[in-house]
Structure 1
Amino acid sequence: MTAPALGRQAVLHMLAQAAAGTAATGNYQPAWYNPPLSPGYAKPFQADNRIGPGAHNPLDPIAPAPGLVSLSPRINVPLCLNHIGLWLPHLFKAAAPAEDDGVYTHVFTSDALEHEGVSLAWQDVDGWRLMNTLTLSSISIPMGQEQGYRAVDFSGMAADIAKPVSSPVGTALTPLALALMPASLCGIRRNGVAVGQIQSGTFRYSRTLVEDRPARLAVGTAERFIPDANPEITVDATVRVTSGAFYDDINSPQPYEFEWRINDDLTLIAACPALRVAPFERDIDGVGTRVQTISMRGEQTSSAPAVTLTLKNGIAAYPVEA
Structure 2
Amino acid sequence: MREGFSEHWLGELLKVKGDIEFILVHPPGVNPSPVNDPRIKQIVCALRGEIIQRSTGFLNARGTYILTINCDEYLHPEVVTLVKDYFDRFPNSWVLRLARRGFPYGEREKLESPWPTIPDVKSLAICSRRENNSNLFKENNYLLEAPIAPLDNPFNPSALIGKRRDHKGPHMENFDKKVWKNELVQPAVKEITASMNVTGPIKYIPFWCLDRLLGLYIQAKFFERGKTIGHWLPEIAEQLRIEDNPPEYKRTKRFYFIAEVILLRNFPKYGYLWNLILAQATEVPGRAIDSLKRKLLPEKPSISK
Structure with the bigger RCO (C-alpha within 8 Å, sep 6+) is 2
* The structure with more strand, counted as a fraction of residues: 1
Question: TM-score of the superposition, structure 1-length normalised?
Answer: 0.24
Superposition TM-score, scaled by structure 2 size = 0.25
Please state which structure has a larger fraction of its residues in helix.
2
